[in-house]
Amino acid sequence: MPQRYPKRRRLNKGSSNATSTSAALHIFEDAQLAAATEDDKKNWPGWCEIESEPAFFNVMLKQFGVKGVKVREIVSLDDEILGFIPRPIYGIIFLFKWREDDPVKQEHSCPHNVWFANQTVGNACASIALLNIVNNIPNCDLGDHLQSFKDFTLSFTPALRGNAIANFEFIRQVHNSFARKMDMLNGDLLMKNDVEAAKKRSNKSTYDDQSDAAFHFVAFVPVDGALWKLDGLERQPHSLGEVDNDDWLSLVKPDLEARMAEYEDGQIEFAILGLVKDPLINLVHELASNVKGIQALETHLDEANPNWRSFTACTSIETEGVPENTLFGPDLHFQIDEATIESAVLLPEVQHKLSSGSTSDADIIGIRKKLAFEQTNLRVAIKEEQASDHHDEDRAAARRHDYGPAVKTWIEFLARKGILGDLLDL
């Protein structure tokens, strides 16, 4: 189901301060505001709401076991802005106020080459959208749990896949690691309200209440030359047309822009997230090639002139030397070991210079210096990506922290000071 917050009854504005304070304290004295324990999260049958924060999605992917995929926020569909998004872009998640598209646009059945699951439980759309993308990425390292799940559900219909997800404890527990006690209470209340609303609508032939529209995650992903909209609330996938997998954004942009145009000026009630290849993968490979190149050049110099190091030691860094902290071998801080360097591709420039019999020692030393300075930028870029990963973990930890007990303590403090009643009557 789409995400929405259930309505709660507010206190009567006409209540006296004492009555208001007493009612508020009665609410906050409940053990319901105690922080959710791991057992609470494990045993809770619902699914919590998750915001469209890239950090949360990145941590979920990591805990699912998926490797090589990162989530980045797309702040604009302008070509210049999109140029800063790492490539390749595997898929897009669009958060918006949901309403069903024309069912005629959907396929009669799910194509065998498209992995698509329906959403059969409320608030699971974040995990559903992620799974509907990563399970369609060619050669994606899904990890043991998701790979086994994908293999097991290959022959399933979208509805059966949705039911399988709803009953897969591993996915639900990763998803609900973000659940706080209030999230769980809201989820339970939402389910109760939905049941009551369904009873009231049981005698009506149609129901089209746009005021009840809720936020929902939908996936867009290219698969084998076609672009697909994978909305877990729709029965089947929706093909948006044939596309070049390297330039499929040009086809999805008009669809997203049309949905965004439906909002009034000033309303930003949508978000766009892109699933991309983890930039750290290419950066580590480039650094390994750089180090391998420096090693090859130094081996050549050692064989041609064993005293070449004494020459560079007498020169200044600005002329022949290399920057401080240059790597000449493995360094696990940058995720490169002997095997990574050994399997790295030797840079074409290095190959050419070493294969040319006319290259002087001075030229070799110059190329070595050039690689060393290029390495500085690579090391900085890797550190930035690693810092981004740590930031994601910190953001997720803050989101998972249950502030209920702190709120309860603050409310009690305001009540003792005689301030709470006045605030409730505002």
Q: What residues act catalytically?
A: 125, 216
Classified as helix, coil or strand, 212 is helix
Residue 225 region by backbone torsions, left for phi larger than 0, else alpha for psi between -120 and 50, else beta: left
Distance CA 264, CA 221 (A): 27
Quote the DSSP letter at residue 9: P
Determine the angle formed by the axes of helices 54-64 and 125-134, rounding to 10 degrees: 60
The distance from CA 49 to its chain's CA centroid, rounded to whole angstroms, is 15
What Rg, from alpha-carbon coordinates, does the chain have? 28
Distance CA 244, CA 386 (A): 32
Amino acid identity, position 81: I
Structure tokens at 64: 């699912």
Distance CA 70, CA 88 (A): 11
Say if strands 238-242 and 69-73 run parallel, antiparallel, or are unpaired: unpaired
Residue ranges in 29-78 assigned as alpha helix (H): 38-43, 54-64
